[in-house]
Structures are given as C-alpha cells and as structure tokens.
Structure 1
Amino acid sequence: MESEKIRVLVISYLPWRNDVSTGNTLTNLFEGLQKKMEFANIYFKGGKPQNNVAEFHFYISEKQLAKSIITKRPVGEEIIAKCNEHETISPDNGIYNKARQMRWESMLLVQDLIGICGKWKSEELNKFINKFEPDIVFGPLGRVPAANILMQYVHEKYSIPIVPYAWDDHYSLKKRALSPFFWIKTFIERKYIKRCVDASEFLYTITVPMQQEYEQYFNKKCKVLYKGYDFLGEAPVKDSVSFPVKIVYMGNIGSGRWQVLAKVAKAISNINHNEKKAELFIYTMSPKSKAIKRALTIRGTSKLMAPVPYEEVLPTMNSADILLYVEPTSEKERLFFRLSFSTKIVDYLYNARCIFAVGGMTASIDYMKNNAAAIVETKDDKIETTLYNLISDHHKILQYGKNAWECGVRNHQRSVIQDNLYDTFVNITKK
C-alpha cells in the first residue's frame, strides 16, 4: 500500500469549495497530501466545487432529487470542476438558505425527507464509485440525512471503511425548542447519524468535549481532528498597534451572533465618546436585514464590509490589531454550539493577532481561555470595560498575538496533523 496512493472518497452535503467553511477545512486537512492520496467528492447542495485537491466530483441536485420522488427516475451526474471556478450561488439554494436564516423547521424537515426519499441510487453513481475505486470514505457527519445515508450505502455495497467527522452536535438531546417540526426533524436526523457512526471504523470529532461525550453515546472510539497551518519560525506579531485600534470580525453573523456584535459595536461607540480609540470592521457573507444593518453600522465606530475573496481572507485578518470572535448567548444557540469548534479560530491563531472572544461559554471559548489564546469576556455587562482595558494596553494586545501563535504551534501544526491523518488511513486500508 505504501507505493500506491490511498483513494479517499469525500461525501459531503455541500460542494467542496475553498470559500465555504466546510470546503475550506477539507482543503486545509488534505492539501499537500496529493502525492500520497487521491480524492473524489460526492455532494448534494447546488454550486460548483472550487478546490485544487479533489480531482473527481459527482453532483446529486436537491432540486432534481425532489422531482425524482414523483418521477421515480434516479438523479446524479459526474461534473468537471475547475480550481479557479468562482461561482458561489446556485438557483436551488435560495429556499434552504432562507429556511435556515428564518429557522423554518418545517422546511428543513422537508429537506431531510427529500434526501431520504429521493432516488439517488443510480447507475451513474455506481460507475463513478467503481471508476474511482475508493479505499476509504470520509465526510462531515452533518445533520442532513442524505450524506450520512450515502456514506453508509457505499460502506455496505462496496465494503469500504468509512470515517465520519463530527463538527457540530446534531445528536444529543441537549437542545431547546418548542417547534414540533424541530423535534421530528431531530429524531429523524439522529437515526441516520447513529447508523452512519455504527458502520464507521471510528469517529473524528472537532473538540475534546465532543470526543468524550460521543464515545459515551455511540460506544465508538473517537479522535480529535483540528484544522492546521504551518506555524514555523517566530510569531509574526505586529511591531506596533494602530491608532485608532483596528478590530476585525470575519464570518457568519447568524444564530444570534449579530446581536453580540451589536453589543461590541455599542461598547466601542461608548469608548469613542471623547476620542476615536477603535473601529470595528465586520466582513460577512450572511444575509443582513435592515435591523442588522442599523445595529452594526455606527458612524466612526462600526462598518459592515463586503465579503472578500478566499485568497484575501488571511491578509484581511492580518491587517487587524485585534481579531474579534463571538458566540451567541441565547440558551438555545449556546446549547447547539457547546461542543463545536469554529475553524476560523485557527485562521485567527495563524495571523498572530490578539483575539477578543465574546459571548456564551462554548467549547471554542473554553479552548481559547484554557490555552491563554484570547482575551475572553462572557458577561454582557463587562464587554465595554474589558475592551476598554484591552484597547488601552498595547503591550497586552501584542502579547496576546504572540500567545495566539504559540497556541497554534502547540496544537495546530499542519505537518503533525497530516502525518497522523495519513498514518491512520494507511492502517485502516491494511486491515
């Protein structure tokens, strides 16, 4: 096996794109391993793949999948993707994006049922799999049943080992919701998550708390897998802090995060009362209502910026003095994210900038606090005081930039992560 490439079939709900969190993480994990591993991707949601890792792609359109329930005709096709493809939106994405933003649990339930009842088992799919001849199936263990069912299907039909990767807690019942559609959806999703994990060799998780909890739920060995970078040499900390201090937030503002951002923006506005000491720049692709725009746009204090292309993400982070990280504070959202780890944190660490983390206590916040990688504030009424003290202490800003880098050196060295990942896959194929 050492002389041959390991062929990895990645099954995901979303297309493998560098400008989407899921695809960005997949690229981060596997880029650079192409001399030893070969990759193909099967996905469901609209949009073309955009990465330079996977060579082969198979697309099962959700829109066509819904029609197949009536027509009884299987759907799915192999597609040719170019690594410089910049299309990000597909016509059949809108309803689910809207449903997700508005928390239309009934529509998300319909989405689940389409994946379960749709006719995706086709000759084209079998030809794609047979042509690629995967040694291992790998994929995010998400909430949407379609991808989890497909992983299990490939395992059972072709006797190929599967290794799922859990990023968010879609399985536990530690949730808060009144909608009956939410609970129907949850129990359906749990069923297919459990089946997928039961069929797996083991389960990767994104945090230690998730590892500990999921080993109890599934009686299955779990391993933690982080995103990584090449943390080499001295920490590239800034020589000095700008005036006014530049604070940058990048990422999703949904799930109540915009409300926490609004509190930070208000705190900065108060701090700037007599003199402009800091300014917040918010880069996001999330939909923005009028209320969100009003809350996050404060003259001389806070600006909503257009999202930047993938290749400009790290340079934009690098332009900051302080990188802002927020978690939602409502109990419902906090419970959902309690075991999660935002892969954006590793991007922040790699830029060697001071991180100011605000919001509800989750595994992400706890991780940064335990590693002294961020200034953490979980109490709303102390945001202004904590931020004022930080803005006023330039030495502390630079020191926490160094702390962030050192956390990356300890825990997110890409060469170590990829060596372990490759060795693990080799051992699986030898069984």
Structure 2
Amino acid sequence: MSAGAGSPSSGLPRVLVVSHNPFSDLQSNGKTLTAFFDGWDPDRLAQLFFTMDAPAFSVCRRFYRVTDVDMLRRLLRRPSSQGPVTADAVARTDAVRADLHRGRLFRMVRWMFQRRWPSALVLRSWVWSDRWATADLDRWLDEFDPEVVLFQSSNCTFAFDVVATICDRRGIPLILETTDDYVTRTSSRDPLGGLYHRQISRAYQAAVDRSHVVIAIGQKMAREYAARFGGRYEIAMNSVDALENVDAPGSTASPVVLHYAGNLGLNRWRVLAELGHALDRLHALDGIDAQLEVWSLVEPEAGELEQLTSSARVRFCGSASSEQLADRRREATALVHVESFDRHNREITRLSISTKVPEYLASNRPVLAIGPSDVASIEYLTEHQAAEVVTTASVEDLVAALRRLLGDADQRRAYAARGAGLVREHHLRSRISAMVRTEILEAARG
C-alpha cells in the first residue's frame, strides 16, 4: 500500500501540484499555491517542481525536484541530482541562498528566461523531452498515489507534457491554474517565435480540454481565455490571511518613505528609476524629502542596479522575510506598484495581477500605482479607485501624482479604506482556499 494511501483519511483527495516554483512564503507564484492549500492535510499534498528554489514546508512536506541542470546532465549522459527534497536538505542560511542567486550560471539562466526568448524556450523543452521520466520519479509518484493534479501553467511545453503523461498514465483529473499570459504571441523578432507560439498554444488548448476547471488570476484573463480556448473558469486572485492591524495613514513624516517589494524583472526597475528622478524633482521644487526603498529576492544585474539607484533617493535593500516586509509596510507613507511600459513586457503582463497587490491593499496604506492603463493590475486599481494611478512614466506626471498623494491626508485614508474593502470582497485567503477545495473535491469525485 502506498504511503499516501496508507495514511489516515482526512476526507481530502491526494493532490499532486506540478509547477516551476515550489510552495513558498516569499516568491509570488509559490505564495499563491501556499494560499490555495491553507488548512489542507499536508500528508495529502505533494509537489513536483522544476527550479533550484528551496520549498517552504509550511503547507506541504513531500517534494520532488527536477531542474534544467538535471536535464542537461542527462543529455550529456552524466548523473543528475533530481529526486525527493527534504527539509534537512534545503536548510540553508540567508547568506548561502544569496550566494546561489549571485552565481554566474544562475544569473545567466535567469537573464535568458526572464526575457522569454522563444528560441530559448523551444530549446529548453527539447532538452527536457522525456528525460525527466525516471524509475525513481515513478516510485515517488506510486508512493504518494495522487488522485488529482493541480498544474500551475508554464511558458514551456515540456511542463505540459509532464502533466499530460502523469494524468494519462494514472487516469486522474487535472485542474489548471494560470497566473501569467504565456500563450499570446508577443512582438518578439525571434525567428522561432511562430513555432513557439503554435507549440505553447496547442499545449495550453490540450490542457484546457482535459481540465475540470481553469483557475485564472483575474476576470480579464478569464474572459479572454474563455473566448479563445473554451473551458470553465474560476477566479482566484492572490490572497492574504487578514487585514493588517496598523494605524490609518495620517500626516506625512519627514522623510517620506515609499516602499516597493517585488520582482524587478520585465523592466520594472526602469519605472522605479524614473520614480527616483521624480523624487529628486519633487525635492528641488517643493523641498519634500522622500525616499524610495526597493526590496527584491534577487539582486538586479550590476548595470541595472546602477541605473535603479542613480538617484540618491532610491535605496536597494535586498531580500527580507515576510515578517520584515510587513514591518517595513507599517513604517511606509505609501506603497509602490509598477508595471513596465515597453511594448514587449506590456504584452506579457497585460492579463496578470501581481501577488503584492492584495498585500498592499491589506496594509492600511495608500498605494501609488504606475503602469500602462491596459494592464490588468492597473485597470483593477483604477476601476476600484484603490490607488493613486499614473499611466505614464513621465517625470512631470509622477511629480504631480506624488504631490496629490502626499499633500492630501484625507485622500490617503480614502485609498487605504477602499483597499481594505477590496480585500474583504476578493482577497481573503479563507475565501480562495474554500473555492479551490470545492473544485478539487468535485474533480476527484468525477
């Protein structure tokens, strides 16, 4: 009898989560998965994931990792290290984790895949092919004996192949979750762009066709994907446990602290650099002493970091725990959300809503949102009047927005109050996890 099947029944199906990123308390997609399974029996949960990141064992205890390095080693007929991951094996200090993220190979691979070059993604899927399928992985799956697969979708076709193979061989249902738009062709001039788009679109369509339900990150994505791919959709935006219990925003102290925490990729760092220039202008014109603190799990490349901090009013602070970031939000005058304005990255982010948006809205702090008007997260905040929104990267427009936000305490309190209302309606973890639980139970019953 399998280990999973032999454990005391909690009435919940055994769920295999397949994703690039592991469960996490810090990383965006990993945090989304952790929220989905809040309160789930950890003995009835397992994850197969594809990065070098260390998983969080707060929700799930059973992990199996296969990485690009493993596949390259197997291609070269060399032994790989793919296999189960235990808490003892991933215990490491913050310094060791930082060293990993500063490594030359890690940074090169991250640089390539952040840009989503079709040629690199086609090559990546070719390298994987069926090399991931090993007797060791089969034994691990047999021991857990999953009843449902939840797949956090990918921009690489190999991940869809992995999921289809597992579902077919074991005769189990699929739930598909989509946080980013990987299937809309972008303006890339890559010669393999057409081939990649056809491959990923076919893979996504096949996944939708076999799925019990598709869980989309927002209403805009659900509407567009339903029209393109069919299927049944539920909405699960990122979530928080509860509203943060902090004082309402009042008069601005000196210096003013603007807080940004999140991914700097997709040229978001460029928008933050422009905000730094706007802070310089604001100080020169109005004498307002304002600082922007930037927190991110991975340090940007040297050239990007130099441009990001070209204003002395911008400080890159590195990574921090979720508790430390919550402390910094409490100290902040306002929180900053940005999306890129360049065409390529605008196409990538137009249907996505960042993990940090609900965290910001729950913080009882006003939000300054900067990004194109047609990107989903900016649309969402604009529609609900939950942020001071700037839809250009013009320094003049940014200065005007900063004046409005910092000069009106009543408006800051109004933004914070509307944010709290949105959290109660759409972003409480208990609501999201209850919906996911219902869908998994229905899928398992067939």
Identify whether the pair has TM-score above 0.5, normalized to the shorter chain: yes
**Partner in structure 2 of residue 169 of structure 1:** 181
- Conserved 8 A contact 1:6-1:135: yes
- Give the alignment's TM-score, normalised by structure 1: 0.91
5 Å-filtered alignment, 1:184-333, equals 184-231=195-242, 236-273=247-284, 275-298=287-310, 301-333=313-345
- Conserved 8 A contact 1:327-1:358: yes
- Pick from 131, 154, 160: which aligns with 1:142? 154
Change (3 A) 1:95 1:111: farther
- Conserved 8 A contact 2:148-2:440: yes
- Pick from 347, 355, 367: which aligns with 1:355? 367
**Partner in structure 2 of residue 367 of structure 1:** 380
Change (3 A) 1:254 1:293: same
**Partner in structure 2 of residue 8 of structure 1:** 15
- Measured against aligned partners, the alpha-carbon deviations of 1:161-180 in whole angstroms (never above 9, x if no partner) come to 1111111111123x211111
Counterpart residue identity of residue 16, structure 2? L
Matched, 1:100 2:113: yes
- Pick from 12, 24, 33: which aligns with 1:26? 33
- Conserved 8 A contact 2:122-2:156: no
Q: Distance in 2 between matches of 1:403 and 1:131?
A: 48
Unaligned runs of 5+ in 1: none
**% identical equivalent positions:** 22
5 Å-filtered alignment, 1:32-71, equals 32-34=39-41, 38-71=44-77
- What secondary structure sits across from 2:44 in the alignment? strand
Matched, 1:427 2:442: yes
Q: Distance in 2 between matches of 1:218 and 1:132?
A: 32
Counterpart residue identity of residue 68, structure 2? E
- What secondary structure sits across from 1:66 in the alignment? helix
CA shift for structure 1 position 101: 4.8
**Partner in structure 2 of residue 339 of structure 1:** 351
- Measured against aligned partners, the alpha-carbon deviations of 1:226-280 in whole angstroms (never above 9, x if no partner) come to 2222336987524543222210111122212122112111111110115233211
**Partner in structure 2 of residue 385 of structure 1:** 400
Question: More deviation in 399-408 or 261-270?
Answer: 399-408
Change (3 A) 1:412 1:236: farther
Q: Distance in 2 between matches of 1:191 and 1:237?
A: 49
Question: More deviation in 419-428 or 304-313?
Answer: 304-313
Change (3 A) 1:344 1:9: same
- Give the alignment's TM-score, normalised by structure 2: 0.88
CA shift for structure 1 position 78: 1.9
Change (3 A) 1:155 1:102: closer
- Conserved 8 A contact 1:44-1:59: yes
**Partner in structure 1 of residue 3 of structure 2:** none
- What secondary structure sits across from 1:328 in the alignment? coil
- Conserved 8 A contact 1:75-1:120: no
- Measured against aligned partners, the alpha-carbon deviations of 1:95-134 in whole angstroms (never above 9, x if no partner) come to 421313566554343222222x241222222211121121
CA shift for structure 1 position 190: 2.5
Change (3 A) 1:70 1:28: same
Counterpart residue identity of residue 163, structure 1? I
**Partner in structure 1 of residue 4 of structure 2:** none
Q: Distance in 2 between matches of 1:69 and 1:297?
A: 41
Q: Distance in 1 between matches of 2:56 and 2:367?
A: 30
- Conserved 8 A contact 1:15-1:46: no
Q: Distance in 2 between matches of 1:143 and 1:314?
A: 31
Runs of 4+ in structure 1 off by over 6 angstroms are 72-75
Counterpart residue identity of residue 114, structure 1? V
Q: Distance in 1 between matches of 2:351 and 2:436?
A: 22
**Partner in structure 1 of residue 5 of structure 2:** none
- Conserved 8 A contact 1:43-1:147: no
- Conserved 8 A contact 2:242-2:428: yes
How many matched pairs? 428
- Conserved 8 A contact 1:321-1:397: no
| Root-mean-square deviation over aligned CA pairs | 2.6
Q: Distance in 2 between matches of 1:300 and 1:48?
A: 34
Unaligned runs of 5+ in 2: 1-7
